[in-house]
Structure 1
Amino acid sequence: MILFTDLDGTLLENGKVKTQKDIDALHQFQDSGGIVAICTGRSKFEVVPAIEQGLPYNYMILNNGGEIYDGEKAIIEHRISQKAGVEILDMLVKEKHLYSYFANDDEQLSYYQGKCAYFPSHKPTDLDFIDEYHRSHGFTILCTHQDTDDFSITQKYMDIINENYRDEATAHRNEIFLDIVPAHCSKGTGIKDLVHYLGDKHRTFGIGDSYNDLSMIEMCDVGATFHFSDLSIKEKAQKSYSYVYEFIDDILGGYYELER
């Protein structure tokens, strides 16, 4: 059996582990013979601070299915082309109310109103954001969000990207963020790829809280979410929880065996 778990809003709150009980339950799941796969929109640069908090895992699905790691080894890698990535970023940086981000195999930088910083450390840098992405040979993920909680400007670019770059990139909404990943990639495709890599014989469980988790919830044999999640997400899940450890307790306790 494999447990696919989101990070932000699921195991993490404001970048910090919600409860030690979740970590203990993940260890218990592994001790029972289960496989833990982190399934996130984050890039490899952003996952490191979470892992360093002691989160146990066997595999990582990153960039909404764009990359899959077996420990430290990448087993599947997809990229947004240099041409498409540059064109998309050229649009985003012209909007003064948008934060923009890009990651490639070497760096991840953020940009807002002319200022560039390393991400996720937020350490300012004198690097020229526009020059840096124009020099990139391709991108693992692009990201943007507004400087308010409104999604109107971001929605506009989500529609533009999915309409005009459908063969190059896919834009997923993740609460206020817009994750732009290689074409046809999602958490659902990442799960399908990893299960195939492992031999297609595992029962799958998935839990997440946001819109980009819908493909994960629908792909897994059992998909779960949280009491606080949007109704559109709850409608696709089989059960809602307050914490991940409660979901694991049900899995290991045989609740879903009875439901089969």
Structure 2
Amino acid sequence: MPRRLISTDLDGTIVFNGSIPLRDREAMARWRAAGNLLVINTGRSVSALEHVVVPMGLEFDNAILYTGAAIVDEDIRVRHSTALPSGVVEDILDFVEGMPGVTVFTTGLDEDLLIYDTIGSGSDLLTLFRPATRRDLEGREIIGVPMRFTDSETAARTETYLRRRWEGQAVGFRNQDFIDVVPASASKGAGLGRLVASLNEPPAPESSGEAGDGSADHADNAAHVAASGAAEQPVEPIETWSIGDSWNDISMHAAADHSYALPWSPPEVVAQCDGTVSSLADLIDSLMGRPTV
């Protein structure tokens, strides 16, 4: 029987006003207690994930972060990450210079920064992002550039510029009033595919060598097994469900075996899904044979 995995978005799906409803938390705990896998799939960074899941005491099996550019385990240890090419952040800042109604953040594995702001960010955002300048970017590895816009036309113009200037190197994903810029190889769907592939690999044999630093791909395990000639153990396949509310979830929905949007999702998102559910708790209850509210 296939193992079952739910890949869930955070903000606007299970996180509302900085908190996760109790019913969703209880449902996720039941899901995992039954031996199923729970994966967080979000545009958030490492520190932004910790900001919400640690106070809530939320437990999960893996998280796909930075819109697919990084994968962490249940202890939020990085197992895979891809950085933006050099020059992307500086070019974005040059493009938006002088524009009103724009905030530019940068996210990395160590810290998240607020670099440019003509919106006037409130105190809630400043608990996640440290105000900084371009000089603070020197020597930093940047994985994502979330940009917030108050005007949809400005956002669309910026998205068009990114596509033309950095095609094949960086990509922008729309998420409500944000555009999240990440490496071109990244997406929530690509992250889910990478994670499922790693979970489907046979475990690597124990080695007396030194342990790695935790950032290498799980794909290295498969190569080690093949090189050593160790017998592969059968691995149960994984059946996947996705739930998410916005445009940046479309690739995740496409990668999953079963996909669900929320009632407030844009029509373009709903059109890509098998259906809609009122909450993650309702999806879990239906999969576990419990009555939904």
Is the shorter-chain TM-score for this pair beyond 0.5, marking a shared fold? yes
Distance 1:180 1:70, change over 3 A: same
CA distance in 1, matches of 2:121, 2:276: 40
Q: Which has the higher strand share?
A: 1
Amino acid paired to 1:83: G
| 1:223 aligned counterpart, secondary structure | strand
Amino acid paired to 1:216: M
CA distance in 2, matches of 1:13, 1:109: 23
CA distance in 1, matches of 2:166, 2:128: 31
CA distance in 1, matches of 2:152, 2:135: 28
Q: Is the 8 A contact 2:105 2:129 kept in 1?
A: no
Partner of residue 29, structure 2: 27
Amino acid paired to 1:143: P
Select the structure of larger CA radius of gyration.
2
Deviations 1:96-138 (A, max 9, x none): 321110122332111314989998444896x6412112x1443
Amino acid paired to 1:54: G
After TM superposition, the structure 1 = structure 2 runs for residues 1-260 of structure 1, keeping only pairs within 5 Å, are: 1-17=4-20, 19-52=21-54, 53-71=56-74, 72-110=76-114, 111-113=116-118, 120-122=125-127, 128-133=132-137, 135-146=138-149, 148=150, 150-199=151-200, 201-253=237-289
Identity of aligned residues (%): 25
User: How many residue pairs are counted as aligned between the two chains?
Assistant: 250
CA distance in 2, matches of 1:38, 1:237: 18
Deviations 1:5-34 (A, max 9, x none): 0000100112221x2111111011101111
Deviations 1:203-240 (A, max 9, x none): 00110000001111111000001112111111111121
| 2:174 aligned counterpart, secondary structure | strand
Cα deviation, residue 188, structure 1: 0.3
CA distance in 1, matches of 2:172, 2:123: 22
Which TM-score applies when normalising by structure 2? 0.79
Q: Is the 8 A contact 2:112 2:129 kept in 1?
A: no
CA distance in 1, matches of 2:244, 2:88: 29
Q: RMSD between aligned alpha carbons?
A: 2.4
Partner of residue 258, structure 1: none
- What 5-or-longer segments of structure 1 have no aligned partner? 256-260
Q: Is the 8 A contact 2:70 2:78 kept in 1?
A: yes
- What 5-or-longer segments of structure 2 have no aligned partner? 202-236
Cα deviation, residue 94, structure 1: 3.5
Amino acid paired to 2:117: Y
Amino acid paired to 1:215: S
